[in-house]
Amino acid sequence: MEPDPGKNQLIYFDNAATSWPKPAGMMGAMGYYNEMIGGSPGRSGHRRSLDAGRIILETREVLAELFGIDDSLRIAFTKNATEALNIALLGILHSGDHVITSSMEHNSVMRPLRFLETQGVQISVVSCSGDGRLSPEDVHAAIRPQTRLLVVTHASNVTGTIQPIAELGHIVRDHGFLFCVDAAQTAGALPIHVDEMAIDLLAFSGHKSLFGPQGTGGLYIREGIERHLRPLMMGGTGSRSEFEVQPDFMPDKYESGTPNTIGLAGLGAGVRFVLTEGVEAIRSKEEGLTERFLKGLASLKGIAVYGPPDAASRTAAVSFNIAGVSPSEAALELDERFGILCRPGLHCAPAAHRTIGTFSQGTIRFGFGYFNKDEEISFALEAIRSLAAGD
Ligand SMILES: Cc1ncc(COP(=O)(O)O)c(C=O)c1O
């Protein structure tokens, strides 16, 4: 590949923010809903309304299959992982409770927690190592009699560091409190099984590695937890319309208002794509791209790379810096001169940057995806070499 100053060439390395391109089936499913269905699900009872309800149920079912969930009604749809995390955190924690989290969290976890702190919730932020790893022993040491919840990202959106979720889940289960996992970076990219990993609450984005459109996400809620989990919003659900109080059953308790049916049609197609390709195959492709990139960066001068050195311990999000070039300058040059799209800065995770020593300038983040190619990695390495050399 050669640089194309006419900007016809585009290399999308921002999959950690949102995936692109999407599988062909995603737009097809959304178009089908729009042209052939169009009704409001669970409301009117006519054939188009029933068809819309069926689409949403099918999306729930494929997600349940992907995450090893026995009953697909345990999934509540949200507009993104942020909303799912807010439902989980604001719904579970009360004044006097203690919550444990890590120093690698996204602001979608930290901001609700810092708000809850002002309401009397105590927070322990367990420090991770310089490459972002959370030690289960340190989590264990932070447990108190008032501990109600551990909330942890499955993988950092800054360094890609994968946390030992199953081990953490079993510590939490043994101590009888709840485990919430932020799977924004991993749903569709790494295997997730809620029972094997002892996960009580799983928040996920639909628009990243699940290949759905923006405006989709969800929260898995283990059976029984809904009895103690306040909804964030209340309103019409199409069920129990004779009552003025919010239904107390799944998923209606957390799904007030007309849903994003067209988006959920697209999400269903995205998840079907993941199931057809296989999470293992997707992981293997992304790990291969990451390994190639890490090896290439190691051979360049003036580059600092963050996170675990081996691709097996991380997702396909790689943070690095080029000596003498700020992340925002580098990202601008990569876009304008080379057509490479990435994300510079703090990636909504200031604590993670403090942990790896890159606060406040942040890093350049490349987020590889299933549709990226080896030749794009080689081209990007050459572009980075040239920026580092001041060419
Ligand atoms: C680790 C992590 N948590 C939460 C979020 C928020 O996800 P969403 O944009 O779907 O709300 C992101 C998004 O980048 C993320 O990377």
Composition of the chain by helix, strand, coil, percent to 5: 40, 15, 40
Model confidence pLDDT, tens digit, residues 301-360: 999 999 999 999 999 999 999 999 999 999 999 999 999 999 999 999 999 999 999 999
Q: 11-22+279-388 has which fold?
A: Aspartate Aminotransferase, domain 1 (3.90.1150)
Alpha carbon distance 142, 124 (integer Å) = 7
Model confidence pLDDT, tens digit, residues 268-313: 999 999 999 999 999 999 999 999 999 999 999 999 999 999 999 9
Q: Is 160 in the pocket of ligand 1 (CB under 6 A)?
A: no
- pLDDT on residue 387: 96
The residue-averaged pLDDT of 375-390 equals: 97
Note whether 380 and 318 are within 8 A (CB): no
Q: Is 106 in the pocket of ligand 1 (CB under 6 A)?
A: yes
Note whether 208 and 301 are within 8 A (CB): no
The rounded Å distance from CA 49 to ligand 1 centre is 31
Cα 27 from chain centre: 21
* % the chain with pLDDT above 70: 98
- 317-322 sheet: strands from edge to edge: 303-305, 317-322, 363-367, 343-345
- pLDDT on residue 175: 98
Hey, which of 205, 314, 346, 353 would you mutate to test ligand 1's pocket, going by the most ligand atoms within 8 Å of its Cβ?
A: 205
Cα–Cα–Cα angle for 343, 346, 350, rounded to 5 degrees: 155
The rounded Å distance from CA 2 to ligand 1 centre is 33
The rounded Å distance from CA 205 to ligand 1 centre is 7
- pLDDT on residue 1: 64
Confidence of residue 5 (pLDDT cuts 50, 70, 90): very low
The rounded Å distance from CA 184 to ligand 1 centre is 5
Q: Is 159 in the pocket of ligand 1 (CB under 6 A)?
A: no
Domains 11-22+279-388 and 24-277 share a fold: no
The rounded Å distance from CA 48 to ligand 1 centre is 33
Q: What's the longest Cα–Cα distance across the chain? A: 70
The rounded Å distance from CA 5 to ligand 1 centre is 32
H helices of 23-177, in order, are: 24-32, 47-67, 81-92, 107-118, 136-142, 165-175
Alpha carbon distance 208, 22 (integer Å) = 10
- Antiparallel, parallel or unpaired: β 317-322 and 303-305: antiparallel
- Antiparallel, parallel or unpaired: β 343-345 and 217-221: unpaired
In the chain, the amino acid numbered 188 is G
φ, ψ of residue 294 to 5 degrees: the values are -60, -45
Q: Is 321 in the pocket of ligand 1 (CB under 6 A)?
A: no
Q: Is 80 in the pocket of ligand 1 (CB under 6 A)?
A: yes
Model confidence pLDDT, tens digit, residues 218-256: 999 999 999 999 999 999 898 888 889 999 999 999 999
Model confidence pLDDT, tens digit, residues 17-63: 999 999 999 999 999 999 999 999 987 889 999 999 999 999 999 99
Confidence of residue 391 (pLDDT cuts 50, 70, 90): confident
Hey, which of 79, 108, 214 would you mutate to test ligand 1's pocket, going by the most ligand atoms within 8 Å of its Cβ?
A: 108
* % the chain with pLDDT above 90: 94
Model confidence pLDDT, tens digit, residues 85-130: 999 999 999 999 999 999 999 999 999 999 999 999 999 999 999 9
Strand partners, 320: 305, 364
- Antiparallel, parallel or unpaired: β 363-367 and 201-205: unpaired
The residue-averaged pLDDT of 146-165 equals: 98
Q: Is 217 in the pocket of ligand 1 (CB under 6 A)?
A: yes
Q: Where are the domains of the chain?
A: 11-22+279-388, 24-277
Q: Is 186 in the pocket of ligand 1 (CB under 6 A)?
A: no
The residue-averaged pLDDT of 186-203 equals: 98
Q: Is 104 in the pocket of ligand 1 (CB under 6 A)?
A: no
> In CATH, what is the architecture of 24-277?
3-Layer(aba) Sandwich (3.40)
The rounded Å distance from CA 248 to ligand 1 centre is 28
How does the average pLDDT of the chain come out, rounded?
Answer: 96
